[in-house]
């Protein structure tokens, strides 16, 4: 389903991102026991972000930011109660952390060469994670972030950079694109993938849980599958604009 919707693009890809993003946002809210009404409000605002970035209606980022500010402020004024500062912080953080990166990913896929850029993003990130996992499992001895992510090893982290670079170069060869500009992208994808993984691990560590949920057997939750992708999506989007399009 993921591969088919990604290939087709348009509304199919839009619906796929909204599906994954909605579940990930729900899981993030659950990590910190966000009240149920606030969770529903965050899902409505996430839907508004996607609606403003749909194939038929694209609102500039400044317009989306104002929409979120006014709509969020109105909601909390109407539903004001104790702990408003924490509730406001959790709602806007979740939308910033999940909603905006997925918006950039959708815009990336909408480009004329969107499939190429999407595969750069996806293959580079996934190969970085896969190579890092197996290298860490086989050769990893030295832990580098034991307090945040006990499974992260120096060997796995370094191998992940080779996976990220190899992934984007493989996509470049497949599409006959120049390879030299892809080398820095592969390194940056590996770095941002690591940051995204560690950041979500920190959130789970603070919440005292191993996985964001058990929605995907053997993989944890939707947020666990998106953690690295949320950081690499905007990276590839802006790298494509400022570097690869030159």
Report phi then psi at 220, rounded to 5: 90, -130
CB half-sphere exposure, 5, CA atoms < 13 A:
13
Tell which residue, 77, 15, 73, has the closest CA to residue 47. 15
Q: Model-level pTM? A: 0.94
Query: Does residue 84 register a pLDDT over 90?
Result: no
The span from the CA of 104 to the CA of 113, in Å, is 15
* pLDDT at res. 246: 65
Mean pLDDT of 119-127: 97
Mean pLDDT of 145-167: 92
Average pLDDT, the chain: 93
Mean pLDDT of 200-212: 91
């Amino acid at each position: 389903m993921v591969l088919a919707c990604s290939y087709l693009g348009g509304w199919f890809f839009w619906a796929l991102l909204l599906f994954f993003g909605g579940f990930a946002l729900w899981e993030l809210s659950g990590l910190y026991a966000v009240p149920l009404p606030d969770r529903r409000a965050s899902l409505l605002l996430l839907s508004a972000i996607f609606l403003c970035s749909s194939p038929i209606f694209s609102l500039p980022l400044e317009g989306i930011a104002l929409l979120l500010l006014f709509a969020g402020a109105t909601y909390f004024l109407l539903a004001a109660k104790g702990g408003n500062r924490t509730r406001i912080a959790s709602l806007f953080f979740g939308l910033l952390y999940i909603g905006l990166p997925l918006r950039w990913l959708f815009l990336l896929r909408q480009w004329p060469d969107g499939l190429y850029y999407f595969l750069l993003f996806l293959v580079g990130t996934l190969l970085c994670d896969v190579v890092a996992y197996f290298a860490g499992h086989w050769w990893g001895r030295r832990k580098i972030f034991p307090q945040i992510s006990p499974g992260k090893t120096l060997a796995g982290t370094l191998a992940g950079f080779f996976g990220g670079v190899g992934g984007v170069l493989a996509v470049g060869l497949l599409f006959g694109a120049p390879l030299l500009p892809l080398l820095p992208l592969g390194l940056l994808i590996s770095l941002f993938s690591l940051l995204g993984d560690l950041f979500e691990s920190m959130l789970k560590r603070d919440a005292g849980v191993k996985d964001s949920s058990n929605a995907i057997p053997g993989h944890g939750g939707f947020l666990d599958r998106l953690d690295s992708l949320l950081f690499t999506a905007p990276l590839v989007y802006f790298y494509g604009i400022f570097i690869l399009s030159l």
